[in-house]
Amino acid sequence: MFGLIWLIPVVGVLAITLTWVLRRYALHRSVLDIPNTRSSHSVPTPRGGGVAIVISYLVGLLFLAMGGGLSWSVTWALAGAGLIVAVLGFLDDHGHIAARWRLLGHFSAAIWALLWLGGMPPIIIFGFDFEIIWLLNLVGGLYLVWMLNLYNFMDGIDGVASVQAISVCVSACVIYWLSGYEELIWAPLLLSMAVLGFLYWNFPPARIFMGDAGSGFLGVILGVLSLQAARELPSLLWVWLILMGVFIVDATFTLIRRLLRGEKVYEAHRSHAYQFAARKFGKHLPVTITVGAINILWLLPVAICVILLDIDGFIGLIIAYIPLVLLAVKYHSGTSEKS
């Protein structure tokens, strides 16, 4: 296994190089994100840099599987689902795909992942195992589709989606190491390196944006990694849900509030809590750094308690999410942008 250690820096260097190439291409071809009333940026910025994450991670996965660091079934689940979502996002970045066709593609990716993983793992709440297979698989499909879409929703300010992915993956690796599941470390570790290479160009003030191809890819990959872990130990699903709490709470809270107001939830907006916070501070950097700090200083310790102290995962989730909900309320998540 240690013979694969060379993959870690290689994936990072590949990502940083590919992002540079994509930025040059976007500038040359004027593939720019032009600011509008729904934007959180003020100057035209190259977009589509998330393709570098996709390519570098998929290359890393291939070598990881060939080196015995990851089973081929999990590799195909990650690569297939990620590639479907990335291609859809890329096409949407460069044109427009109707929402119904995007959704069909998203569910196809989720089904692909679940088939290769062997289905949705059991969910344990208060010691009770929920093992109704058809219901679990339905929940699993909806979960993966929501994860990739919420990640797209939350990629709205410089660096936030990258910092979220890196801090969540590194936190998961720490928990795997502490709990004796070292064999699970490789896939999220490689993802964190691919994103780190991109973050060099995306850190506030961003010199290139991720785009739908990258954000959707990250969302579905993180979702599949959480299900992979849950098949090894069911409580690890709660660990991942805790670690991803910042994005899950803000996106879900915002969606529910907008639905209750009768808004078209598929339309672009700036009513997430992190977007209100960025406008309040007048900069993206404080918000992006705060997201990483919350993940490491609050959500990681709670997740460690769940796995090492055998606290019920659902209770741990509630404990972890209470401050996040309060922050969502404080920063007007889902309220009218004129509030």
Angle of helix 186-202 versus helix 160-179 axis, rounded to 10? 160
In this prediction, residue 94 has a pLDDT band, given cuts at 50, 70 and 90, of: confident
Distance CA(97)–CA(101), nearest Å, equals: 7
Task: Look at residue 329 and tell me whether its pLDDT is greater than 90.
Answer: yes
Which pLDDT score is estimated for 337?
A: 64
* Cα–Cα nearest to 278, from 164, 171, 156: 156
Which pLDDT score is estimated for 33?
A: 82
Neighbours of 4 (CB within 10 A): 17
Residue range 185-200, pLDDT digits in tens? 999 999 999 999 999 9
Which pLDDT score is estimated for 153?
A: 92
263 exposed, middle or buried (CB, 10 Å; 0-12, 13-18, 19+)? middle
Task: Look at residue 121 and tell me whether its pLDDT is greater than 80.
Answer: yes
Task: Look at residue 36 and tell me whether its pLDDT is greater than 70.
Answer: no
Distance CA(164)–CA(255), nearest Å, equals: 19
* Cα–Cα nearest to 188, from 202, 174, 178: 174
Phi, psi at 330, each rounded to 5°: -60, -40
Helix (H) / strand (E) element for 110: namely helix 99-117
Which pLDDT score is estimated for 192?
A: 98
Task: Look at residue 267 and tell me whether its pLDDT is greater than 60.
Answer: yes
Which pLDDT score is estimated for 34?
A: 77
231 exposed, middle or buried (CB, 10 Å; 0-12, 13-18, 19+)? middle
Residue range 137-171, pLDDT digits in tens? 999 999 999 999 999 999 989 999 999 999 999 99
Distance CA(157)–CA(155), nearest Å, equals: 6
Which pLDDT score is estimated for 43?
A: 81
Least confident residue range of 18-32, 188-202, 292-306: 18-32
Which pLDDT score is estimated for 54?
A: 98
Task: Look at residue 98 and tell me whether its pLDDT is greater than 60.
Answer: yes
Task: Look at residue 339 and tell me whether its pLDDT is greater than 70.
Answer: no
Which pLDDT score is estimated for 260?
A: 87
- CB 206, CB 159: distance < 8 Å: yes
Which pLDDT score is estimated for 264?
A: 75
Q: Region 219-235: what's the mean pLDDT?
A: 97
Q: Region 288-302: what's the mean pLDDT?
A: 98
Task: Look at residue 266 and tell me whether its pLDDT is greater than 80.
Answer: no
- pLDDT averaged over every residue in the chain: 93
Residue range 40-86, pLDDT digits in tens? 666 889 989 999 999 999 999 999 999 999 999 999 999 999 999 99
Neighbours of 211 (CB within 10 A): 27
Distance CA(64)–CA(80), nearest Å, equals: 15
- This prediction's pTM: 0.95
Task: Look at residue 323 and tell me whether its pLDDT is greater than 80.
Answer: yes
Percent of the chain with pLDDT over 70: 96
